[in-house]
Structure 1
Amino acid sequence: LGISAYDIIRNAKDKEYYPYVYIASGSYFLTGFVTVLLGWCRLNLVKNALANIPKSSMPIKNRDLPNSVFNLITGELTRVSMIAWTGEPKPEDVNLPGWGRPGSDFDDIHFKSSMINTFSLIEQTALKKNSSLKRQPSMSVQRYIDLLIEHRVIDRGLGHAYVEGYERARFSEDEVPQEQYTEFMKLVLQLLRRLGYNGD
């Protein structure tokens, strides 16, 4: 195209057909300009079309795919959805470590906190039984239980078992399982009975 244009313009110029020179030059310039303009417009059109596609959109609709492929994809999506739904935990199955299972006798009980709080009940019960069993502010749980043992209010084995369970709950980073909590509370109940606790 460039050689043909050059030949036409040169021949017209040699023969001094200047109007033809202008016409030929203008025609080829206009053709080139229109070609570049159309290419640029097409490029922008494609870029805008791509930019307008939602990022989460996938061409998996019936109109986008052959029927066999569309049916395969929708079937797999349905199967995956069913698996996800059946594997999703139900509210009654959710059980956080260290907490009572919802709907059970231990509902909304944090085992560690409950075990730690038993000491104040033991202290209050012992004080009601004997005012001389008042705990000093600097006295540890271990020392106070030893005091109760010294006053023969509780026996040594029961007291030491309580301290062991209490300190495990108080200082361990691990949550307390329900079985351990149940056994500890049985121990607390025995201890309170020795102290004369009547539930008031």
Structure 2
Amino acid sequence: MSARHRFQSFLYHTSFTFFILILSALMVGSAWGLGEQAWRTDHQRRWNVFALVAAYVAFLIVSVMHVWSRVFSVKKVLRSMPKPYMPTKNVDVPRRVSDLIQTEYSRTSVIAHLAQATTGQQEGWGRPGTKWADVHFRTYILGTLDEMRNILHPDYSHAPPTSLQPLIDATANFPPSEPDGKPDPLRLFVASYAKILERARYAAKEPTEGDAEAVHSVVGLVRGMVDLRTAKRDAAAARAAPSSATSSAQPSREPSGSHAPHHRGRSRTLGVSFGGVELGAKPPLHQSSW
């Protein structure tokens, strides 16, 4: 505060005290003069003193009532004001202060209006009304790293904790059941996930909804492929266990001397009779008559 403002404030506050002292002196002087004049009047001394005292008592009562009404009305107005009320109008503060407040308020309002989203979407955040509403894409993408580590169980003994190469190398622990010589799709998915994660970590540009959707899909695919390959590997190990146990045991052989019993007997010719003649039987011998 400058010296001029301090001087004006001093005059503003001391003027009230000065005028109160002047009014008090005038009131006391007038009361003293009137009282002395009334006292010197012999035939109406008592009446004059009574009238003078009554007038001053009435004056004091009216003054106190007026002051009390003003205090009560001011307190009532202050209580009716909302608590967050701030004196910004020219009736509450000096005009220059009020103009400065209005100028800054207008400038702040314009900045706030320009900062609002006009397309219904803010960069790096999900659009309202979609499944990505109120989702920060960078935070979501970086938050999936723990889930991928729980799925693949990478080895970080020879790599820094921030490296993603162990995550890609961990796909070798889940080889396909029938290799066809082509690149492993699991490794390709994890490599694409690592690229998106690297961009979310270090890129100045905010990730898009497509990046978040791709990460969501890749995590689901990787989990499904790992579970499927793990189940196939466990099933193959379960089938291989009984066969190995059987091959390790000695095979049992049947005794060579056991043959079916051989029955000797005359062969009988079976015939079928057709028209009184037995087919397949030897014809009867006819004796010639001599």
Taking structure 1 as the reference length, what is the TM-score of the superposition? Answer: 0.45
Greater relative CO, 1 or 2 (CA 8 Å, sep 6+):
1
Q: Which has the larger radius of gyration?
A: 2
